[in-house]
Structure 1
Amino acid sequence: MKGDLLLVSSIIVLMHMVFGCPEKCLCHQTSKTVDCRNQGLVEIPSHIPPETLILQLQNNHIWRINQNAFSETPLLKILDLSNNSVSNLSSGVFQGLRYLQVLNLTKNLIYYLENKTFSSLPQLKELDLSSNSILNLPETLGNNTGNITLLSVKYNKLQRLDRILLESLPNLKVVLFKNNPWECTCHVIGLKLWLESFLYRGGISDGIICSTPENRKGKDLLKVPYEMYGTCPPTAAQVHLANIHHHSSEHRSSLKHTHHNENGESSHSDCEPKPKPRPVSLRHAIATVVITGVVCGIVCLMMLAAAVYGCAYAAITAKYHREHLAPVTELGSPEEKEPFDSSLA
């Protein structure tokens, strides 16, 4: 009996050595998945098979990720680190994961991210940072993160989010903001403009609910009218949006300021005042069109009334001349001729 147990144990050890499956983990060769869930791990296990495509590390106690933790798994496509104790991510922890597409970091203790944390993940499409303690996000998530289509920052401690970060993700299709203490003061105008444009293009979002100031608490950012920010100074985001909307008109305007010299060379006048970009509001534009239409209508009615009045006055004057002045002229003609005839006699 002891000999049989020893044989089985030897076979298990041999299999681990051949396939390189970490202790406490299950390795599925067909799906190339390594399952290390619920094992009380405190760090990334070693001896993970290099052909692994899916690595499941959720529901452990991992609190630190070493720089070369994934150097042996360059083919990883899905990495799940949810429900651990990770608090810090240095810029090189995901080095070498060139094919990673899904990264799940939900339910950790992350409070800070460097702007190059995800630079080594050029194929990353889904990034879930929900349920952490993130206070601020950098202006970019990395130099090669343009393929991200889903970004979730739900259940964090974010009060604001720089629009530059969102604009650095041109392929973004879904962005989730729920349950953050969003501060809806002047700085949020850029985010509001971006979100309106994002939804207009068909993007999906759960919206931004204001926490402060008190008079906007609980309100959807998209439903807070721009008039509420009337005292805010113009922001770079507003100017940027205005430049986008007015690009073609500014280009035509610049052509008007171009003149040709005697040699046929063209030059631009530097003395011409350039139009100042102004923020665009669809509601204001519609109101302007309606008001302009009403004013034009009133002016047209006034002109029509004046024309009718002029025609009526001319008709009455002509009728008066025919009825009153013509008979007097006919009666007065013989009397005027009578002295002339007598003088001839």
Structure 2
Amino acid sequence: MGEKTMDPLLFFLTVLLFVGTQSCPEVCKCVAKKKYGRHIADCSYKELQAVPVGLPSNATTLTLSVNRITSLRVDSFEDLVDLQALWLSYNEVSNIAKGTFAFLVQLRAIDLSHNRITDFPWGDLSNLTALQQLKLSSNLLEKVPSDAFHTLKDLRSLWLSDNQLAVLSEGTFDSMPLLSLLQISHNPWNCSCKIWWLKAWMENTSVIPEKESITCAAPERMKGLVFGRSLPMDCMRPSVQVVYHSSLGSSILHGGLSVLLHCTAVGKPPPEIRWKIQTSSQNVAINGPNIEEGNNSLADVTSKHSKGMHFLVFKNGSMVISKFSKADEGIYTCQALNDVGSREESVSIALASSENPADQLENNMQASKPESKPCDREEHSKSEEKIVVLYLPPILPKTSSSVRVLWPWAALLLSSLLALCS
């Protein structure tokens, strides 16, 4: 009598049952609560040194708390795509590979408190848009990127207390409209102007409990003070103004116009000045002076230009555009930055060849501007734009009389200075 073959459907169900019974590691306890659609894998209090293999792929909650796990690999949770809660508190985690959490898009809660984390894979959070609770307290974190939480629109609770945070970037918490609990106490806060924004933000929010526990560790004169309303902080967001100057000397016209823009900035602490240039053919950013201090005569400026330096920026905020030509028409923006924030002001420069350049100027400026935006009257967010029109007269022969004729052009060469956003 020949052997009977097993019904294919029965075989499939047998294999499925076998796989299901083998999918929970021995050290863990796996429970299915079908009524609630939950599948729990509890591997806590097991002295584990690594995430166990063979975890059930349908797990919605994984508990690994109170073990001795030291690192999380990129494949530690790769099969747990349905995971909604991950508990890893009270371990010894110090290393987390980038991408470890990136595919756990169903996650609503992560608890990594009481570990030894110094470098968290913040980029992984961009995929976790369902996250509602994130606990990173009692670790060794020294910084949080300004955009770390920019996709976490549903986050309700965030624990960052008991770390090594000294500063946070302005706007760090702005992208979480549902945030109702934020723990940042017991960090070594540097109560300088770098977190002046945080002081103002805390005064107008109710999401931070126990504000009395947020104290300063630096500077020395503020050590131990509560980071609250009465904390003395002499800080001021920069103010900025761009002024056009023309007295560079009569000889400048022999090689083409040279334009001097001076940027005046005031703030506490003193702001750093940067220039941004946008023309029809290029965008240039100059982050600080490129000319050493000293007696920079016109000959020095000409020498620098001959060495390929066209935009010369000095420590006092001045910028010289040597041999200004049609190609240099565009928007010149001075930006002032300090620990409190930044402001900027722009001036649009067009070179006209006629005595009535109004129509030509409008066309030139429309070509050199970025996409138009409504005027914003808030000083801190938009700059006041000005227009400078320069006349370029014909270059005359180098004679003593020609210098006298040219100098009135060099005295200003300024047809109009208008405010577009008044």
TM-score of the superposed pair, with normalisation by structure 2: 0.51
- 8 Å contact 1:130–1:153 — kept in the other structure? yes
Q: 1:32/1:74 Cα in 2 relative to 1: closer, same or farther (>3 Å)? A: same
How do 1:97-246 and structure 2 match up within 5 A?
A: 97-141=104-148, 144-197=151-204, 199=205, 202-207=206-211, 208-225=214-231, 228-229=234-235, 231-233=268-270, 235=338
Identity of aligned residues (%): 28
Q: Distance in 1 between matches of 2:340 and 2:162?
A: 26
Partner SS state of residue 195, structure 1:
helix
Distance 2:135 2:270 in 1: 34
User: Which residue identity lines up with residue 207 of structure 2 in the other structure?
Assistant: G
Q: Secondary structure at the match of 1:151?
A: strand
The equivalent residue for 1:271 is: 418
Compared CA separation, residues 172 and 133, structure 1 to 2 (3 A): same
CA positional deviation for 1:85: 1.3
Deviation (angstroms), 1:160? 1.1
Where do 4+ consecutive residues of structure 1 move more than 4 Å?
Answer: 14-17, 233-240, 247-251
The match for 1:25 is 28
The alpha-carbon deviation at position 47 of structure 1 amounts to 1.6
In structure 2, do the counterparts of structure 1 residues 19 and 142 end up closer, same or farther at CA, with 3 Å as the change threshold? farther
Go from structure 1 to structure 2 and tell me whether the alpha carbon gap of 1:121 and 1:250 turns closer, same or farther (over 3 Å shift): closer
**Aligned-partner Cα distance in 2 for 1:270–1:172:** 47
Do 2:92 and 2:116's aligned partners in 1 also have CA atoms closer than 8 Å?
A: yes
SS in 1 for 2:125: coil
* CA shift digits 1:121-173 (9 cap, x unpaired): 11111111111111111222255323222111111111111123222333322
Greater RCO (CA < 8 Å, at least 6 residues apart): 2
The answer as to whether partners of 1:41 and 1:62 remain within 8 angstroms in 2 is yes
Q: Deviations over 1:274-332 (max 9, x none)?
A: 68xxxxxxxxxxxxxxxxxxxxxxxxxxxxxxxxxxxxxxxxxxxxxxxxxxxxxxxxx
Q: CA deviation at 1:97?
A: 0.9
What one-letter code is carried by the residue in structure 1 that aligns with 2:53?
A: S
Name 2:90's counterpart in structure 1.
83
Corresponding residue of 1:260: none
- Contact map agreement 1:163 1:194 (CA 8 A) in 2: no
Task: Assess if the C-alpha contact under 8 Å between 2:99 and 2:121 holds in 1.
Answer: no
Deviation sequence 1:204-258 (CA, Å, 0-9, x none) = 3333211112222222222334654464347475568xxxxxx98659xx9xx9x
Q: Which has a greater percent of helix?
A: 1
CA contact (8 A) 1:114 1:141 kept: no
User: 1:62 deviation in Å?
Assistant: 1.0
Q: What is the distance in 2 between the residues matched to 1:56 and 1:217?
A: 39
Amino acid corresponding to residue 220 of structure 1 in structure 2: V
Shift of residue 15, structure 1, vs aligned partner: 7.4
C-alpha distance after superposition, 1:4-55 (max 9, x if no partner): xxxxxxxxxx978525111200111124211101111111112211221111
Q: Does 1:93 align with 2:100?
A: yes
Structure 1: how far apart are the matches of 2:231 and 2:216?
13
Residues 1:36 and 1:122: Cα distance change in structure 2 (over 3 Å): same
Q: Give unpaired runs (5+ residues) of structure 2.
A: 1-16, 237-267, 272-337, 344-374, 386-415
Q: Which residue of 2 aligns with 1:333?
A: none
Does the CA-based 8 Å contact 1:84-1:107 persist in structure 2? yes
One-letter amino acid of the counterpart of residue 21, structure 1: C
What's the C-alpha RMSD, in Å, of the aligned pairs? 3.0
For 2:105, give the aligned amino acid: R
Question: Does the residue aligned with 1:119 lie in a helix, a strand or coil?
Answer: helix
For the 8 Å contact 2:85–2:107, the answer to whether it is kept is yes
Match of residue 73, structure 1, among 71, 80, 84: 80
CA separation of 1:227/1:81 partners in 2, compared to 1, >3 Å: closer, same or farther?
closer
In structure 2, the CA distance between the partners of 1:136 and 1:151, relative to structure 1 (3 Å rule), is same
1:181 and 1:212 in contact (8 A); partners too: yes
Letter in 2 for 1:26: K
- Which AA in structure 2 matches 1:125? Q
CA distance in 1, matches of 2:179, 2:220: 32
SS in structure 2 at match of 1:130: coil
* The structure with more radius of gyration: 1
Change over 3 Å in CA distance of 1:15–1:212 after alignment to 2:
same
Quick one: distance in 2 between partners of 1:67 and 1:37? 21
SS in 1 for 2:41: strand
Distance 2:417 2:126 in 1: 42
Report if the CA contact (8 A) 1:83-1:108 is conserved: yes
Letter in 2 for 1:177: I
